[in-house]
Each structure stands twice: as structure tokens, then as C-alpha cells.
Structure 1
Amino acid sequence: MTKELSLEQQEDLLKGLKTRFEKNLNRHEGLEWAKIQEKLEARTEKLWSLNEMERTGGEPDVVGYDQENDEYIFYDCSAESPKGRRSVCYDLEALESRKNHKPENNVIDMATAMGIELLTEEQYRELQKLGNFDLKTSSWVQTPSDIRALGGALFCDRRFGHVFVYHNGADSYYAARGFRASLRV
């Protein structure tokens, strides 16, 4: 699979990202689209990853700027967990441990293939300060190694006006659970 977008695909993606940026100014106060676009045009491999986020229903948007590293931070900002990334267990070990009814993929391998990083619990909570996400779905988040070593994995959602963190067997998967990710550019 080629990890490059045609010029037309790049233009379409940038146009869509700009429109989303302008419609959701509360997510990135003080940031200027022109500077973000300049950075994106200089890092076209990141455009491919953003396109993968978009293609799978993530609706990526800028949520911050890391001044120390001179990087813009994108998160999946779709109202619900991205549709194209649901019904997946946590990692390859979990997938291989299932005897029956295996899902098609797993979160860690999908994120790696897309060039993105699974949100941490802290990042998930930051996202929830920007709006109400996952009111009907849930999203896997990075799981500490001690929990994963015991067979578990963490996921989050928003219910009753609060953000909740839960646990499940890493090999579980549900039609309403996917994952959200971040990308630094």
C-alpha cells in the first residue's frame, strides 16, 4: 500500500481540514490555519495519516500546539468513536488468544499501520473538555503494561455528564467500541 496522497487528494484533505478548523474554533484558540497548513504541506507523510484518520471516520482536528517541539496536535474529534475503527480487540496478543469469533483486526496494529497513536486516558479527558464525545459509543485508550500483563485493557466513554474509564478483557470487542487517536505534525 502506498503511503502517499495524490496532489488532488492532498488538496481535498486540506480543504476539509480547514473547513473543520474554521467551524470548531473553540478547539484551537489562538492557532492560525495558515501556519498549520504550511506545516502539513512540508510533511506530506503526515497528510497520509490524517487522511487515514478521516477515511475511517475520525474527523481529525487540531486540538493544540506543542511549542517546545514545534508540533501541532490533531485528535479524532468525531462525535462517536470512529466507525471504521470499531469491533476490534486491543492488540495482536488478544486477537490471537481468541478461539472463536475473532475480530478482523486490533487497535494497536491498526494505529501503527495508520501512523497514529492511541489516545491516553489523559488525552481522552482533554478531548472531552472540548465537547461531548462518545455519548453512545466507547473508545479504547492506551493501557498501562501492568494491566495489560494481566489480560486487561482500558476504554473510556462519556455518560451522565461524566467521563468514565473502564476495563475489559483485551480480547473483547464490541460494535460500539473503537478507538481514537492523535497525530503530531
Structure 2
Amino acid sequence: MSNINGNVRELSPGQREELLRVLKARFEKNMDRHKDIKWAKVQAKLEANIEKSWSLNEMERTGGEPDVVGYDEKTDEYIFYDCSAESPKGRRSICYDREALESRKENRPESNVIDMAVTMGIELLTEEQYRELQKLGSFDMKTSSWVKTPVNIRKLGGAIFGDRRYDTVFVYHNGAESYYAARGFRGSLRV
């Protein structure tokens, strides 16, 4: 399987085995995130959809610590979110999208959220999903994470992000071209 750049998006059997080991250990350590879900069923689904392993591995490689947060009965899919305590380290210091990146005359970041998520094969968390994640624990206590921005806000040059401060989840705005060392993004993947 190849991505849009023609790069191979497949893990070796050893890499898949290591990823499954890491995901299983995290799953068992954080049972409160996925009550009533059995690891054996998640693993069977992962083994039947090995192309999704590459995306999960990218989530892991960039510091997202993906974990199962739900199951969609209608589509028969398990839902993974990035569950790292802080915004994933390998996805920080990036602006919101390509338009924002190209609008910067100098000091351009290396990438942008939207292109990076597409390349990884994941979806950017929406504001609703970000708030759901925050019900499972305390995330982004020192960092912040870009979230999927409504078209009307983006058309006006803005983008939104979330964080947790003072035991409260805040969603706020910034210019889409801005980027900070403490702001990344969190994604989701359905398997």
C-alpha cells in the first residue's frame, strides 16, 4: 500500500508485532478508557486490517500514544485517539493548513496539521471529540492541540485549539498561520 507520495505504507511483521505489544500494554493499563471492550476483539480487527497498522504506528512514532476510546456498532469499528498526556511531541510547531503555511513570508514551520494528518492516514480530532477525550483524563495540561476548525472560522483566517487549564477544558482561536513549540495536534483512527 502506498500513500500519495508513493511511499510504502506497510509495517514488517516484526514491526506489527511490536506495535501490537505496545498497544495491548497501553490498553490493559487504561481500562477506564474502554470499558466493556475486549483486547482479543481489538487485536483480531487490527490483524484483519493491517493497512491501519501503519497509521497507528505513525501515531505512536510521533508521540501520540494511541489507545482505544470507543466502538462504533453501526460501522463495526474500534476508535483510537491519541492519548498522550501532552500534545504529541513529533507533531508540534506546525501551523494549521497549507494555505496558512504558504501565507507566512518568513519563519515557516516545517509542515502543517492538515497535510500531516492526511499523510499519516488519520483524522484530526473535532472539538466534540477533543472534549470526549478530556472526559477520559486530564490532557494538554501544559500544551495545546489544534482541533478541526469549522469552515466559517477558517475562511476568516482563524483556526481553533484546545487545552486544559484550571481543571477546565478551553477551546480558543488563533491565526491559522501561527505555530508554537507547545502546540501540536491529536488524531483519531477507526479500525
Give the TM bin, normalised by the shorter chain: over 0.9
Rounded to whole Å, the distance in 1 between the matches of 2:144 and 2:51 is: 29
**Gapped runs of 5+ residues in structure 2?**
1-6
Paired letter, 1:126 = E
Percent of residue pairs identical: 76
Task: Find the residue that maps to 1:78 and give its secondary structure.
Answer: coil
Task: Find the residue that maps to 2:163 and give its secondary structure.
Answer: strand
Equivalent of 1:100 in 95, 99, 106: 106
Rounded to whole Å, the distance in 2 between the matches of 1:43 and 1:159 is: 38
Q: Does 1:121 align with 2:127?
A: yes
Which residue does the alignment assign to 1:166? 172
Spell out, residue by residue over 1:30-89, the C-alpha distance to the aligned partner (whole angstroms, 9 max, x if none): 000000000000101100000000000000000000001100000000000000000000
Which residue does the alignment assign to 1:152? 158
Rounded to whole Å, the distance in 1 between the matches of 2:127 and 2:148 is: 7
Equivalent of 1:72 in 69, 78, 81: 78
Rounded to whole Å, the distance in 2 between the matches of 1:39 and 1:53 is: 18
Q: CA deviation at 1:2?
A: 1.2
Rounded to whole Å, the distance in 2 between the matches of 1:15 and 1:164 is: 34
Which residue does the alignment assign to 1:7? 13
- Please identify runs of 4+ aligned residues in structure 1 that moved more than 2 A: none
Rounded to whole Å, the distance in 2 between the matches of 1:58 and 1:2 is: 21
Task: Find the residue that maps to 2:79 and give its secondary structure.
Answer: strand
Paired letter, 1:21 = F
Q: Does 1:183 align with 2:165?
A: no
Paired letter, 1:77 = C
Considering only aligned residues, what root-mean-square deviation do their CA atoms show, in Å? 0.3
Q: Does 1:44 align with 2:16?
A: no
Equivalent of 1:109 in 115, 137, 151: 115
Q: How many residues align?
A: 185
Rounded to whole Å, the distance in 2 between the matches of 1:5 and 1:144 is: 34
Spell out, residue by residue over 1:156-182, the C-alpha distance to the aligned partner (whole angstroms, 9 max, x if none): 000000000010000000000000000
Paired letter, 1:111 = A
Rounded to whole Å, the distance in 2 between the matches of 1:7 and 1:123 is: 32
